[in-house]
Structure formats: C-alpha cells, structure tokens
Structure 1
Amino acid sequence: MSHVLSRRTVCLSTGLTAVATFVGCASSSLSSDEALYKNDQLLPSAPSEPYTGSDEQPIRTQERMFMAMMDADAESLRSTLTEDATLTHITGQIQTRDEWVQSVADKTMSYSNIEVVSAHVERSDNSAQLVARTRTTANINGSDGTWNLQLVSQIHPDGTHFTKTVASLWS
C-alpha cells in the first residue's frame, strides 16, 4: 500500500497535525505529536538483541525521518538515528550520521517529496530491519531528479532509532 509524504498538505485520518500527508497508510494511527517526537535521546547502535516489537513503531520512526529530510530539520533527523549510525548512498558513499544530517541541513541534499510505495519489517534471529521502497524527489549535490530508492534500515531494539541505512535503486 502506498502513502505520500509532502510538506505542503496535512491530512491524517486520526487528526494528527504534522507536515505530511499519509494516504492509505495503516501505520498512521498516532494519537498525538508527542508520539512522533518523544524519543529524541541518542542510543548506542550495537544492540545486544534485535527489535521484537510491532512493525508500527519503526514505520513511525521512518515517517519522522522522511518529514525531517523534507523540512531540512537537523535535530529531528538526528533524533531518528543512533549516534554512530551510517548512511550508504546509491553511489556507495558512506556518510556518518552527522555528515548526512549536515548535508540535509545545508541543503546539499534537499528532499522535496517522498512517496512510500511499500514498507515492511524483516526479522531474523539476530536482527530486524525496515525495508522501504520510495519514489524520492530531491536535489542531490545540484542534480535534480526522482529516484526509486530502496532503503534498508537496521532497527535499534527500541524501535525508535536506526543504526544503519543502505540505499539502492529499484525498478
């Protein structure tokens, strides 16, 4: 099921006021802004056990991350990632959390629209990851485009932070 995030419109069936539109998103059953933003502490990214909670929390964390990317909101984006998290771009470039957040904050990487085509949690004995496919419109280092991105994010055991994200293209 697809949902679209956009800075320009707000329409959640629950009445949540946020800078996003979620269309047909089963995970948008949040009761307040606090549910989105209460987990801002930094956590170590070397969990001793995998995330075992519901799929809903990591998907909410991803929604927070995408909204922060579109708003170039460094603090909100930082709050979705562990202190030593990394992002691997489709080019293979690996950035630390702070390098990537700075690129978003200074709009070297400027995201204008993120359409989530699918998102689900995959689990194994020792890890859990959120796999999302998006259509992402952005200006990256001066190049405008819309990319079909697959983002595989390792989930911290608390479900509210990612420890590593690897981006690739899908068709």
Structure 2
Amino acid sequence: MKSLVLCTFLLISLAGCAQNNKKEMNQNYSTEEQEVINVTDHLTELMIAKDLKGLNNLLDKDFTLTHITGYLQPKAEWLKEIETESMKYYSFKPVNRKIEINENKAEVIQQNILDARIWGTRNHWHLQQIFQLEKRNDDWVILSSVASIF
C-alpha cells in the first residue's frame, strides 16, 4: 500500500513539474514574443485538427514548407497532403524555442516532439522548425517554415 501511495505521489509531482517547466519556458517572454509563440503553437494545433481553413488563414499566400528531406513544398500542396492524410499530425510537445523580433519581422526556432505520420511513416519526430513571420495589421502571419531533425 505504501508503494502505491508513493507511486501516486511521484506521478502527481512529476505532472506538476512538467506543468511548471512549460510555464517557465514561456515566463520570460515579452508580450509580443508570447504572441508569436501563440501563432506557432496555433499552427501545430490546426495541423492536428486538420483545420485547412484555419491553416490557410494563418499562412501567407506564398508560404512554403521545407521538409527534413530538403523538399520545398508550396502551401497548396502541403494543405492537400493534410487533407488526404498523407501527412497526419497527432500531437506535439514543445521542447525549446528561441525568438527574435525586429520591428514587423520575427524568426522563431522551435523544437517540438511531433507525433505524426508522414508519407506512411509514423514516428515521434524530434522536429526543429525555423519560422519566418511578418506582422500585418496587428496579426502575425507565417511566411515559411524550414524543418530539420534535432
């Protein structure tokens, strides 16, 4: 019985630490940096939800995604891959991010563990994405993303 109580306590403590780590990861960001984080996190949430309309609105009309293979994919083709589930996204866990804002431009280097099935292969991808964003009429728009493995 003591073991069960101890295990339960440890699990609750670990869950609390995980919550605190996520808070700490976002704690030192300015309001504008937090806005950019919200946009990049929202992108991943829309990918998981397969929300093509939301993705289309969040991404620039000329958005491109450079895959870990080096393939430069146009927005319309990538959205079609999500629609047909050639690329199926299940979940993500933020690991690290770095944000640089210069007036109305931002670059985000974000590392996530992404559970996804890409062209038939499902994996927990250790994905680093370098996002280029631009602020237009008080909204951040994603211009491009370059993916690599970390």
Q: TM-score, normalised by structure 2?
A: 0.74
> Residue 118 of structure 1: CA displacement?
1.4
Query: Given residue 95 of structure 2, which amino acid in structure 1 is its aligned partner?
Result: V
Take 1:92 and 1:165, find their aligned partners in 2: how far apart are those partners? 12
Higher helix content, 1 or 2: 2
RMSD: 2.5
Give the structure 1 partner of residue 63 of structure 2. 85
Identity of aligned residues (%): 26
Give the structure 2 partner of residue 50 of structure 1. none
Give the structure 2 partner of residue 129 of structure 1. 107
CA change 1:117–1:27 in 2 (3 A) is closer
Q: Based on CA coordinates, which of the two structures has the bigger radius of gyration?
A: 2
Which stretches in structure 2 are left out of the alignment for 5+ residues?
1-17
Query: Given residue 163 of structure 1, which amino acid in structure 2 is its aligned partner?
Result: L
- State the SS of the aligned residue for 1:55: helix
Higher relative contact order (CA 8 A, sep 6+): 1
Which of 61, 64, 71 does residue 39 from structure 2 map onto? 61
Q: TM-score, normalised by structure 1?
A: 0.66
Take 1:119 and 1:80, find their aligned partners in 2: how far apart are those partners? 20
Higher strand content, 1 or 2: 2
Take 1:136 and 1:60, find their aligned partners in 2: how far apart are those partners? 17
CA change 1:25–1:74 in 2 (3 A) is farther
Give the structure 2 partner of residue 107 of structure 1. 85
